[in-house]
Amino acid sequence: MSETTKPIILDGKQTAKDIRSEIAETVAGMVERGEKAPHLAAVLVGNDGGSETYVNYKVKDCKEVGFGSTLIRKADTISQEELLQVVKDLNENPEIDGFIVQLPLPKHIDEQEIIRAIDPGKDVDGFHPVNVGNMVLGMDGFLSATPSGIVELLRRYKIETSGKHCVVIGRSNIVGTPMSILLSRNTEVGNATVTLCHSRTKNLKEITLQADILIPALGKPGFVSGDMIKEGAVIVDVGTTRVPDDSKKSGYALKGDVKFDEASPKASAITPVPGGVGPMTRVSLLLNTLKAGRLKA
């Protein structure tokens, strides 16, 4: 591609907005037919600022598309048994189609035990081992929000993945690892040759330079520089780190893992930060909740 060609901006914000409209239309149709609107519950333990913000977004998103929503707040002194009871009640409550327990949980709580207690059919975060296993096996289930949001973004922009070399940087349980698995599967947005890189990888640049599709998910602002990118690559930047910025009202700016200015002249397509992967992650939870509601309808 010539240097004057601008890359396609993979606009997650607009795409997520489109998807919310589609969901809203679907929900309106369900309600018109006398069906129950999908209902999401969120459990928020303690007063972590970040968690509070995320949960509020989730509730707001539900309202926008016409879902029911329930926010359950618990003090950070809640015991393991009490929290397990909250989960059990939600599992058994027929009004609730899907629910999430916002992470992280206080240190005295066994997070894994809580996740395992969630009914996999209501686990719209896709964190339960059954849902992770279903993803690996290509069976139906709930996919975790960030990787499924990225798949949806690639699908809507008709980015070819089959036979492409996709390099994922970062092996977290909720982003890098599932992303690498999803893209290698024999599915529509899949069939890529996938390399999963992480903190122990040597010669990272040698590998990223081979990437037709590069997906950094490290949370290290500006980690990926222009010289690490192959001409014409598709760049999906998962990083969203808060960096102090006095020029913003909030006092911080969101920075991606990629140096956008260096990457965009080389890329054929690229996600901005903010407005790329973040909104797609948010809307994935709505898609999972819609799916949960329909499964129970």
Q: Is 235 in the site for its own copies (CB under 8 A)?
A: no
CB of 106 to its own copies, least distance (A): 20
- Residue 251 CB, nearest approach to its own copies (Å): 34
3-state SS, 37-93, equals CCEEEEEEECCCHHHHHHHHHHHHHHHHHCCEEEEEEECCCCCHHHHHHHHHHHHHC
Give the nearest distance from C-beta 164 to its own copies in angstroms: 8
Contact between 110 and its own copies by CB under 8 A: the answer reads no
Q: Are 68 and 62 in contact (CB under 8 A)?
A: yes
Could you tell me the smallest distance in angstroms from the CB atom of residue 182 to its own copies? 11
Of 143, 278, 47, the closest CA to residue 55 belongs to 47
Q: Which stretch in 12-20, 71-79, 84-92, 136-144 sits in contact with its own copies by CB under 8 A?
A: 136-144
> What's the maximum distance between 2 C-alpha atoms anywhere in the chain?
61
Which of 58, 122, 255, 259 is the catalytic position? 58
Among 43, 153, 196, 234, binds its own copies (CB under 8 A): 196
Interaction between residue 133 and its own copies (CB under 8 A): yes
**Measured distance CA(8)–CA(185) in Å, rounded:** 25
State yes or no: residue 13 binds its own copies (CB under 8 A): no
Q: Which of 26, 191, 240, 241 binds its own copies (CB under 8 A)?
A: 191
Whichever of 24 and 204 has its CB closer to its own copies, that residue is: 204
52 phi/psi in degrees, rounded to 5: -60, -45
Rounded to a whole number of angstroms, the minimum distance from the CB of residue 293 to its own copies is: 22
Query: H or E segment at 21?
Result: helix 12-32
Residues in the chain: 297
Q: Could you say whether residue 220 binds its own copies (CB under 8 A)?
A: no
Check if the beta carbon of residue 110 is closer than 8 Å to that of residue 117. Answer: no
Interface residue with its own copies, options 173, 188, 242, 297 (CB under 8 A): 173
Of the residues 136, 248, 251, 294, which one makes contact with its own copies according to CB under 8 A: 136
Confirm or reject binding of residue 193 to its own copies (CB under 8 A). Answer: yes
Nearer to its own copies, 44 or 169 (CB): 169
Nearer to its own copies among residue 66 and residue 121 (C-beta): 121
Q: From the list 102, 148, 184, 268, which residue makes contact with its own copies (rule: CB under 8 A)?
A: 184
Instruction: Find tokens 């977004």 and name the residue.
Output: 57
- Residue 230: alpha-carbon gap to chain centroid: 25
| Phi, psi angles (nearest 5°) of residue 68 | -75, 155
Site membership for its own copies, residue 178 (CB under 8 A): yes
Residue 230 is among the residues annotated as catalytic for this protein: no
* 14 carries an active-site annotation: no
| Residue listed under structure tokens 């809307």 | 283
Separation of alpha carbons 77 and 75, rounded Å: 5
C-alpha distances in angstroms, 59 versus 41, 49, 62, 99?
A: 9, 16, 5, 11
- Confirm or reject binding of residue 209 to its own copies (CB under 8 A): no
- Which active-site residues does the annotation give? 58, 102, 125
**Which residues in this chain contact its own copies in the complex, by CB under 8 A?**
112, 128-134, 136-139, 141, 162-163, 165, 171, 173, 177-178, 180-181, 184-186, 191-198, 200-202, 207
